[in-house]
Amino acid sequence: FHEWIGDKWAILFSHPADFTPVCTTELGAFAKLKPEFDRRGVKMIGLSANDLNSHDKWIADINDISHTTLSFPIIADPTRQIAWTYDMVDAQDTTNVDEKGIAFTIRSVFVIDPAKKIRLTMMYPASAGRNTAEVLRVVDALQTGDKKGVTTPIDWVPGEDVIVPPTVATEDARKKFGDVREVRP
């Protein structure tokens, strides 16, 4: 997995099962946003609790329903070994199992930086779809913070004001960033 990531950012997102309606819409949405993730140097990889044969059929279904071309890999995890290892299993509802009696995964998102550090996790219940725009926004915020040494306020999007950490004196911030608006001394 680390070799696949290389020197890029990565997003790993899990799905309870192939062909579920919510998962299908999510993968279609991520496929449509792939050029935006590519522009930011982010590789995407999905994980679903079915085998590769099922994935191939599901990808065709996703492409048809979403009018897109899914072009990132999906990990096959039919035994949920990866899901259990990375705490992607629905601990609140272990009765939510497949025909083999194995617990389904929840919708997890991991944002991983080029140093292979998990920078963000988001966990959604199986009943709620993710917000792909929020995943992209968080990548922008993390990358901006790393590049500029700043933090981002709630609902921040590129082009809006950022926050200079309180550990940086106002004069030092002005030297580094130029025009600085001081809200609180």
Q: Is residue 147's pLDDT more than 90?
A: yes
Whole-model pTM: value is 0.89
Nearest alpha-carbon partner for 142 in 9, 25, 44, 2: 9
**∠ Cα 86 87 90 (to 5°):** 145
Integer Cα distance of 140 and 65 in angstroms? 28
Q: Is residue 177's pLDDT more than 70?
A: yes
Mean pLDDT estimate for the chain: 91
Handedness of CA 75, 77, 81, 82 (dihedral sign): positive
Task: Encode 132-155: b = buried (16+ Cβ within 10 Å), e = exposed.
Answer: beebbbbbbbbbbbeeeebebeee
Nearest alpha-carbon partner for 132 in 21, 22, 9, 54: 22
pLDDT in tens, 7-20: 999 999 988 888 98
In this structure, the strands spanning 42-48 and 74-76 are parallel
Residues labelled as active-site residues: 23
pLDDT in tens, 83-142: 888 888 776 656 666 667 666 667 899 999 999 999 999 988 877 889 999 999 999 999
DSSP-derived secondary structure letter, 106: P
pLDDT of residue 125: 80
Say if residues 105 and 127 touch (Cβ distance below 8 Å): no
pLDDT of residue 98: 66
